[in-house]
Amino acid sequence: MIDLRQQDDLRDLRPRFQLIVLVVLIVFGGLIGRLCQLQVLEGDHYARRAERNFVDVVDVEAPRGRIFDVKGRPLATNRPAYTLYFTAWTRFVVDPEEGLIATTEGERTPIDDASRDSILSLLDYVDSADRADVAELVDGLRGDESRGRYAQILRRNLSWDEYARIQARISDLDPWLEIRESSRRYYPEGELTGFVSGHMGNIAREVLERSDHLSYRPGDRVGQTGVERQWENYLRGRLGARSRVVDARRHEVATPPAEAQAALPPDRDPIPGQDIHLTLDLDLQRVAHEALARKLAGAVVALDADSGRVLAMVSVPGVDPNRYEQPIPAELWREWSESPLKPFIDKTVQEHFFPGSTYKVVSALAALSDPEFDPDHTIDCAGSVVYGGRRFKDTHVHGSVDLEQAIAQSCNTYFFDLAMRSTLTLERVEPIARALGLGERSGLGLNGEVKGTIPTEEFEAREGTYQGGVRLNSAIGQGNVKVTVMQLAVLYAAIANGGYVLTPYLVDRIETNEGKLVLRTEPQRRTAVPVIDPADRERIHRGLVGVINDERGTAYSERLRNIVVAGKTGTAQVGRETERPANAAAKIVGWDTTQDHAWFAAYAPADDPSIVVVAVVEHGGTGADAAAPIVMKVVEQYLGSTSSETGTRPRGFGVPPPLPGRDEPSDAAATGPALPGQRPGARARDGKGEAR
Amino acid sequence: MRSSLDRPDDLVSRIRRSIDWVVVVMTFSVIALALVNLNSAGRGDWTGRVATQLRWVGLGTLAMFVVTAVDYKVIYRGAYAAYAFGVGLLALVPIFGVKVKNARRWLGTDDWRLQPSELMKILVVLALARYLHDSSAKGLRGLRGLMVPAAMAILPMALVVYQPDLSTGIMIGIIAVSMLAITGLTLRSMLVLLSVAVMAFALGWSYMLNYQRKRIDVWLDPELYADKEGYQTIQAMISVGNGGFFGRGVDSGTQNVLGFLPEPFTDFPFAVYAEEWGFVGGAMLLTLYLCLVLWAINIASQARDRFGALCCVGVASMFFWHVTINIGMVLQLLPVSGITLPFISAGGSNVLTTMLALGVLMSISRSRHAR
């Protein structure tokens, strides 16, 4: 046992103790000094950095401007929706023992396989391609830290099922997922106004690259077609910003520390998009659509004859624009794009057709511009003519016809004769046709209009020599004459209003969210003076009245009881040209490509025209049978509601359209909210209907 | 100081006299701060880690006073046995240990587990103190005298590093070296020791695992790795700086409350503390530690013998290095390591060890000259 009391030992340790004390003091002094440096001298700097940690500024979507019809009924509005955001790289991992934990050194790691799979299993998919797309997006973000560290939109417009499923699992998947409130576009009328309103879609990469000054961001929704696209810049509004306190997962903190809340920068309110009020009348649109709905493919345009306001604009078949707010199954998409009915094409402006006999008014006007032409001279229609060794047929033998009767009875032979006698050369017709707005875009600006074609001799000679027979075909709207429905409507409006070619317009006015007027469209005539001589106009007009009101007229059977309508049928022969052995699978019942396109163009009332309606039914047969009834229904609806007290009442807001085959509810049964103070069908210009 | 003749001699007075109140007051001050801070780090949770820590503090307090009551001659006698017991426990760890996050460091169940490597720190101090006490009596002061103490330190170090727990292993080494430096090592021996250490480090650098080397890189320029390895370091600095002069107030530090600070319980609790208590609180805590260290050295200088002095120096160096390395790491003066801050870090074995060490200190304090 060693004696523990060797007290002398320690004296030589004294200097070392003093040394240690010195060292300890210096080291602690150093620590305190460093603490002072960080907290007192550089405290503000670190306080800013701490703020940068928890302050998160998120964009606030501006509510998109709404689209209303002429009476203020909505065509496009916004609805609240939930959007799922996904962050692939977080500072959290799933530990096999402890579950979800922060990474050891706070580093970011990509989401693990199991969590990825359970996230993918939370969503509903329309088909396997949809699922593959989402999986590809997730995996792309997993493989790319620079993008994956930020919350990216994984899914828009979550269904309630999806929402509930995600909420149930959010505790396990919290670091990666976040649901934010947003809004989705909603089109109450669906397919009825699909081509007018257009639809939304994700911004394309090229557009994004071109648009830096418009500050679009990847994943933004932009108008793809229709008014949504044409007026995108007005509808869009300006992004706002909202700052919030987030935690390390970058999720908003419900009850942040008061100091953190106080450090937030002020919010910037979004500027809502501007509301667009259209000239379109939903009642008329609905009538036109219902009338056309029994046909497979076709289009109707109704214009105000004096101003060029578009009153109705329908093309069938179409796609409900609401469909674009959700993923579309690839199979359905393929079906649509391969359909011979072309549901993506707005047949009012995006497709041109042979105008057929509706073009005869142009031929007639061209003939009248020839001083040597005598419109009262009659010719004898024998049912066909022979020119250049070919036989040009008429529908039947019309007998003796002058210009008016040739229009009323739609006699081809009369116009063949003019063409053969060089009254109707292409040189003479072409400038007249152009002056009437054919061969040029109408200026509506919607949905990528096509120009149509008005042939010249030069044009006809493009493939070898010019054949004189083309003149004959062109005179009756065949050959290479092609027009859009909208162009034809403008043309007939010009005849109706005394010769003014109008620029049709769909947007009546644009207002800010608070109702301040931003822009109002004024009717625009293309020329200051009429392009049609009043005497010529009168002659053609009499012919057009005869079409419906003369017993020999082609559309006499379609006349209305109390409204005098002037119009022209057209039966454009396309059957043989487009007949091809359709494959059995794509066969559509009732779609007979050997049938002709049926046209009807009309204006009414004949003595003081206010509306012009043009309808085309693809492969519908004859104009009088297929297209005229449609036009008549629209005319009846419009004039019945504006000029006749006993006529059909406009349908009140929210009242469903009658079932096919039934008439409008009678006055007694009408439960529609006939608003006090609002005359039924008054062409409301206030536009502040019940929808506001 | 009054003469012992004046002292009352009843039991209560004897107990009161035999307790070193400086140690007790400072210890429990730090413990109080530690519990409040752990509650903060746990976002206001008084039940989880705080309760666990409190249980260990209770156990530690008991151990502290039991050890205080023991005459340190008994400690002297039992030093080697305790050392052997500790090494034995360490040897059991690879066989029966509980594995958490790829490391097998604990004995016991998941709920009550003991980390023998922590306990080993104080046992190495005791054994080394005894050996150096004995050897100085025999007059061994040169390098040759280092062989045995080096072996005594290296054996548990190797076992600890094997777990793997490099930080604790190095800690044992540093404490041992500190003790050697105090006892009569000649200047020459110390220079040799220093150069050996430098060479060992240079050699070790090339054998260091990648993540360890990375830590040094990160330490040198954390902003370069701000989003990965440097995240912790930077967030800790931001926390400290965000505290400012008076601190953000308990439970109001955004860095901690919003979860930006990783490892707020074990490695970076001082960052939580500094954010909430500011420079005033930080300096106060550092001063408490400083006083404990200086008081330990003071007791050492007044100890009756070399064993007592060395034990005190060992305890002082244990405190000193823990505090310096942990806070130095938080303040980005040193690279990140797993060294804990006594009491403030959550960890039962560490609390128990620290309180045992303080018990030893108080036991020696009982018999020092100045009383």
Query: What pLDDT, on a 0 to 100 scale, did the predictor assign at position A641?
Result: 60
B164 touches chain A (CB under 8 A): no
Whether residues A32 and B228 touch (CB distance < 8 A) is answered with: no
- How many C-beta atoms surround the C-beta of residue A326 within 10 A? 15
Closest-CA distance, B320 to chain A, in angstroms, reads 8
Residue bearing the bigger pLDDT, A223 or B111: A223
CA distance B253 to B241: 11
Whether residues B286 and A10 touch (CB distance < 8 A) is answered with: no
Listed range (A532-546, B134-148, B166-180, B276-290) with the worst mean pLDDT: B134-148
Residue-wise pLDDT for B40-56, tens only, equals 888 777 888 889 899 99
Burial A540-579 (b: 16+ CB within 10 A, else e): bbbbbbbbbbbeebbbbebbbeebebbbbbbbbbbeeeee
Per-domain boundaries in chain B: 4-364
Whether residues A27 and B324 touch (CB distance < 8 A) is answered with: yes
Torsion sign (Cα): B194, B196, B199, B200: negative
Query: What pLDDT, on a 0 to 100 scale, did the predictor assign at position A647?
Result: 38
Query: What pLDDT, on a 0 to 100 scale, did the predictor assign at position A23?
Result: 92
Please determine, for residue A96, whether its predicted confidence score (pLDDT) is greater than 80: no
* Alpha-carbon Rg for chain A in angstroms: 36
Whether residues A31 and B259 touch (CB distance < 8 A) is answered with: no
Residue from A6, A24, A39, A48 whose CB has the most chain B CBs within 10 Å, to mutate: A39
Query: What pLDDT, on a 0 to 100 scale, did the predictor assign at position A661?
Result: 52
Rounding to the nearest 10 degrees, give the CA dihedral for residues B366, B368, B369, B371: -30
CA distance A333 to A169: 33
Cβ-based contacts under 8 A for chains A and B? 184
Interface list for B 198-237 with A (CB within 8 A): 227-229, 231-232, 235, 237
Residue-wise pLDDT for A124-136, tens only, equals 888 888 899 899 9
Closest-CA distance, A176 to chain B, in angstroms, reads 16
Whether residues A28 and B136 touch (CB distance < 8 A) is answered with: no
What's the mean per-residue pLDDT of chain A? 82
Query: What pLDDT, on a 0 to 100 scale, did the predictor assign at position A9?
Result: 57
A478 by DSSP, 3-state: which? coil
CATH class of the domain at A52-73+188-276:
alpha beta
B301 touches chain A (CB under 8 A): yes
Going by the DSSP 8-state scheme, the letter that residue B128 receives in this structure is H
Listed range (A232-236, A434-438, A666-670, B342-346) with the worst mean pLDDT: A666-670
Listed range (A3-17, A244-258, A284-298) with the worst mean pLDDT: A3-17
CA distance A75 to A281: 11
Closest-CA distance, B196 to chain A, in angstroms, reads 22
Contact (Cβ atoms closer than 8 angstroms) between residue A663 and residue A647: no
Per-residue pLDDT band for A679 (boundaries 50, 70, 90) equals: very low
CA distances from B187 to A405, A412, B141, B184, B193 (A): 131, 125, 11, 9, 10
Residue-wise pLDDT for B58-89, tens only, equals 999 999 999 999 888 899 999 999 999 999 99
| Segment B286-306 mean pLDDT | 92
Per-residue pLDDT band for A588 (boundaries 50, 70, 90) equals: confident
Q: Could you say which of A2, A106, A257 has the minimum Cβ distance to residue B254?
A: A257
CATH class of the domain at A282-333+342-581+590-643:
alpha beta
Residue closest to A233 by CA, chosen among A65, A27, A459:
A65
| Segment B271-295 mean pLDDT | 94
Query: What pLDDT, on a 0 to 100 scale, did the predictor assign at position A316?
Result: 86
Residue with tokens 């003081």: A608
Q: Could you say which of B184, B259, B286 has the minimum Cβ distance to residue A31?
A: B286
| Segment A314-338 mean pLDDT | 89
Name chain B contacts of A104, Cβ cutoff 8 Å.
262-263
Name chain A contacts of B304, Cβ cutoff 8 Å.
4-5, 7
Please determine, for residue A589, whether its predicted confidence score (pLDDT) is greater than 90: no
Residue-wise pLDDT for B146-161, tens only, equals 788 888 999 999 999 8
Whether residues B240 and A38 touch (CB distance < 8 A) is answered with: yes
Whether residues A247 and B333 touch (CB distance < 8 A) is answered with: no
Interface list for B 11-70 with A (CB within 8 A): none
Name chain A contacts of B290, Cβ cutoff 8 Å.
24-25, 28
Whether residues B320 and A2 touch (CB distance < 8 A) is answered with: no
Interface list for B 242-261 with A (CB within 8 A): 242-245, 248, 251-252, 254-255, 257-260
Per-domain boundaries in chain A: 52-73+188-276, 81-186, 282-333+342-581+590-643, 649-692
Report long-range pairs for A426-430 (Cβ below 8 Å, ≥24 apart): A426/A455, A426/A456, A426/A457, A426/A460, A426/A470, A426/A471, A426/A474, A427/A456, A427/A457, A428/A366, A428/A369, A428/A370, A429/A362, A429/A363, A429/A366, A429/A454, A429/A474, A429/A475, A430/A454, A430/A455, A430/A456
CA distance B22 to B295: 8
Whether residues A6 and B227 touch (CB distance < 8 A) is answered with: no
Listed range (A153-167, B29-43, B251-265) with the worst mean pLDDT: B251-265
Closest-CA distance, B113 to chain A, in angstroms, reads 17
Amino acid at A77: T
Query: What pLDDT, on a 0 to 100 scale, did the predictor assign at position A583?
Result: 54
A197-211, A487-501, B11-25 — most confident range: A487-501
CA distance B143 to B188: 9
Residue bearing the bigger pLDDT, A481 or B145: A481
Q: Which residue of B has its CA nearest to A92?
A: B262
Please state whether beta strands A399-401 and A517-520 pair in parallel, antiparallel, or not at all (unpaired). Answer: unpaired
Closest-CA distance, B231 to chain A, in angstroms, reads 6
Please determine, for residue A674, whether its predicted confidence score (pLDDT) is greater than 70: no
Whether residues A54 and B258 touch (CB distance < 8 A) is answered with: yes
Query: What pLDDT, on a 0 to 100 scale, did the predictor assign at position A6?
Result: 47
Closest-CA distance, B120 to chain A, in angstroms, reads 24
Please determine, for residue B183, whether its predicted confidence score (pLDDT) is greater than 50: yes
| Segment A617-641 mean pLDDT | 85
State phi, psi for A603 to the nearest 5 degrees: -135, 155
B199 by DSSP, 3-state: which? helix
| Segment A65-80 mean pLDDT | 91
Residue from B254, B263, B367 whose CB has the most chain A CBs within 10 Å, to mutate: B254
Q: Which residue of A has its CA nearest to B76?
A: A4
Please determine, for residue A254, whether its predicted confidence score (pLDDT) is greater than 90: no
Closest-CA distance, A106 to chain B, in angstroms, reads 6
| Segment A623-640 mean pLDDT | 87
Please determine, for residue A559, whether its predicted confidence score (pLDDT) is greater than 80: yes
Whether residues A106 and B313 touch (CB distance < 8 A) is answered with: no
CA distance A163 to A167: 6
Contact (Cβ atoms closer than 8 angstroms) between residue A623 and residue A301: no
Whether residues B313 and A20 touch (CB distance < 8 A) is answered with: yes
Whether residues B243 and A43 touch (CB distance < 8 A) is answered with: yes
CA distance A229 to A221: 11
Q: Which residue of A has its CA nearest to B235?
A: A50
Helix (H) or strand (E) holding A47: helix A43-54
| Segment A96-116 mean pLDDT | 78
Whether residues A106 and B235 touch (CB distance < 8 A) is answered with: yes
Residue bearing the bigger pLDDT, A216 or A3: A216
Residue from B219, B279, B311, B326 whose CB has the most chain A CBs within 10 Å, to mutate: B279
Query: What pLDDT, on a 0 to 100 scale, did the predictor assign at position B231?
Result: 83
Please determine, for residue B187, whether its predicted confidence score (pLDDT) is greater than 80: no
Query: What pLDDT, on a 0 to 100 scale, did the predictor assign at position A35?
Result: 94
CA distance B211 to B273: 28
Closest-CA distance, B338 to chain A, in angstroms, reads 12
Residues whose CB is less than 8 angstroms from the CB of residue B31 and which lie 6 or more positions away in sequence, other chains included: B57, B343
Query: What pLDDT, on a 0 to 100 scale, did the predictor assign at position B245?
Result: 92
Query: What pLDDT, on a 0 to 100 scale, did the predictor assign at position B184?
Result: 62
Query: What pLDDT, on a 0 to 100 scale, did the predictor assign at position B59?
Result: 94
Contact (Cβ atoms closer than 8 angstroms) between residue A62 and residue A241: no
Query: What pLDDT, on a 0 to 100 scale, did the predictor assign at position A684?
Result: 38
Q: How would you list the strands of the sheet with A298-304, edge to edge? A: A310-316, A298-304, A611-617, A597-604, A566-572
| Segment B151-172 mean pLDDT | 88
Q: Could you say which of B73, B293, B369 has the minimum Cβ distance to residue A4?
A: B73
Whether residues B241 and A43 touch (CB distance < 8 A) is answered with: yes
Q: Which residue of A has its CA nearest to B328?
A: A31
Query: What pLDDT, on a 0 to 100 scale, did the predictor assign at position B20?
Result: 87
Name chain B contacts of A102, Cβ cutoff 8 Å.
259, 262
Closest-CA distance, B254 to chain A, in angstroms, reads 7
CA distance A419 to A651: 49
Residue closest to B327 by CA, chosen among B277, B282, B263, B276:
B282
| Segment B125-145 mean pLDDT | 78
Q: Which two structure tokens, joined as six digits, stand for A555?
A: 């559309």
Q: Could you say which of A31, A106, A149 has the minimum Cβ distance to residue B324?
A: A31
Whether residues B227 and A107 touch (CB distance < 8 A) is answered with: yes
Residue-wise pLDDT for A512-535, tens only, equals 988 888 889 888 888 888 888 888
Torsion sign (Cα): A544, A549, A550, A552: positive
| Segment A507-511 mean pLDDT | 91
